[in-house]
Structure 1
Amino acid sequence: MTSSSGAAAAAPAHPPTSADGSGKALYGGKSSRRITVHDITAAKERGEKWPMLTAYDAMTASVFDEAGIPVMLVGDSMGNCHLGYETTVPVTLDEMAVLAAAVVRGTRRALIVADLPFGSYQEGPVQALRSATRLVKDAGVGAVKLEGGERSHEQISLLVQSGIPVMGHIGLTPQSVNAMGYRVQGRGEEAAQQLLRDAKAVQDAGAFAVVLELVPGELAAEVTRSLHIPTVGIGAGPETDAQVLVYTDMAGLTPGRVPRFTKQYANLRQTLGDAARTFADEVVTGTFPQAEHTFH
Structure 2
Amino acid sequence: MTEPTSPYAAPKPDAPDAPASAAPGAGTAPDRKPVTLQRLLDMHAAGEKIAMLTAYDATFAHAMEAAGVDAILIGDSLGNVVQGLQTTVPVTLDAMVYHTECVARARRLAWIIADLPYGTYHESPQVAWRNAMRLAQAGAHMIKLEGGGWTTETVRFLTERGIPVCAHLGLTPQTVTALSGFKVQGKDAESAARIKAHARELVDAGAQMLLLEMVPAALAGELTRALGVPVIGIGAGAECSGQVLVMHDMLGVGGGRKPRFVRDFMQGSASVGEAFARYVADVKSGAFPAAQHTY
TM-score by length of 2: 0.81
Q: Return the offset for 1:12.
A: 2.3
Q: Return the offset for 1:49.
A: 0.8
Aligned position for 1:286: none
Aligned position for 1:276: none
What is the identity, as a one-letter code, of the residue corresponding to 1:13?
A
Q: Return the offset for 1:255.
A: 1.8
Distance in 2 between the 1:267 and 1:216 partners? Answer: 27
Q: Return the offset for 1:13.
A: 2.0
Question: Are positions 1:160 and 2:159 aligned together?
Answer: yes
Distance in 2 between the 1:145 and 1:116 partners? Answer: 6
Distance in 2 between the 1:147 and 1:99 partners? Answer: 19
Question: Are positions 1:36 and 2:36 aligned together?
Answer: yes
Which protein is richer in helix relative to its size? 1
Distance in 1 between the 2:213 and 2:55 partners? Answer: 18
Aligned position for 2:23: 14
| 1:20-52 alpha-carbon deviations (Å, 9 max, x no partner) | xxxxxxx88754443111111111111111110
Question: Are positions 1:151 and 2:150 aligned together?
Answer: yes
SS at 1:263's partner residue?
coil
Distance in 1 between the 2:114 and 2:61 partners? Answer: 13
After TM superposition, list the pairs within 5 Å mapping 1:216-231 onto structure 2.
Answer: 216-231=216-231
| 1:221-271 alpha-carbon deviations (Å, 9 max, x no partner) | 111111111100000111101000000001111222222111000169xx9
**Contact 1:114–1:143 (CA under 8 A) maintained in structure 2:** yes
**Contact 2:208–2:230 (CA under 8 A) maintained in structure 1:** yes
Aligned position for 2:169: 170
* Change over 3 Å in CA distance of 1:102–1:264 after alignment to 2: same
* Change over 3 Å in CA distance of 1:59–1:214 after alignment to 2: same
* Change over 3 Å in CA distance of 1:31–1:117 after alignment to 2: farther
After TM superposition, list the pairs within 5 Å mapping 1:2-81 onto structure 2.
Answer: 12-14=21-23, 31-81=31-81
Distance in 2 between the 1:143 and 1:153 partners? Answer: 16
TM-score by length of 1: 0.80
* Change over 3 Å in CA distance of 1:124–1:223 after alignment to 2: same
Q: How many residues align?
A: 251
SS at 2:168's partner residue?
strand
SS at 2:146's partner residue?
coil
Distance in 2 between the 1:259 and 1:68 partners? Answer: 25
Aligned position for 1:201: 201
SS at 1:203's partner residue?
helix
Distance in 1 between the 2:118 and 2:90 partners? Answer: 8
* Change over 3 Å in CA distance of 1:155–1:30 after alignment to 2: farther
**Contact 1:32–1:108 (CA under 8 A) maintained in structure 2:** no
**Contact 1:145–1:167 (CA under 8 A) maintained in structure 2:** yes
* Change over 3 Å in CA distance of 1:11–1:166 after alignment to 2: farther
Runs of 4+ displaced beyond 3 Å: 27-33
Aligned position for 2:96: 96
SS at 1:60's partner residue?
helix
After TM superposition, list the pairs within 5 Å mapping 1:254-265 onto structure 2.
Answer: 254-265=254-265
**Contact 1:11–1:265 (CA under 8 A) maintained in structure 2:** no
Task: Give 5+ residue unaligned stretches, structure 2.
Answer: 1-18, 273-295
* Change over 3 Å in CA distance of 1:130–1:254 after alignment to 2: same
Distance in 1 between the 2:30 and 2:220 partners? Answer: 30
Distance in 1 between the 2:57 and 2:71 partners? Answer: 15
Aligned position for 1:246: 246
Distance in 2 between the 1:106 and 1:140 partners? Answer: 10
Aligned position for 1:112: 112
Aligned position for 2:139: 140
What is the identity, as a one-letter code, of the residue corresponding to 1:220?
A
Q: Which has the larger radius of gyration?
A: 1
Aligned position for 1:284: none
Distance in 1 between the 2:70 and 2:49 partners? Answer: 11
Compute the RMSD of aligned alpha carbons: 2.1
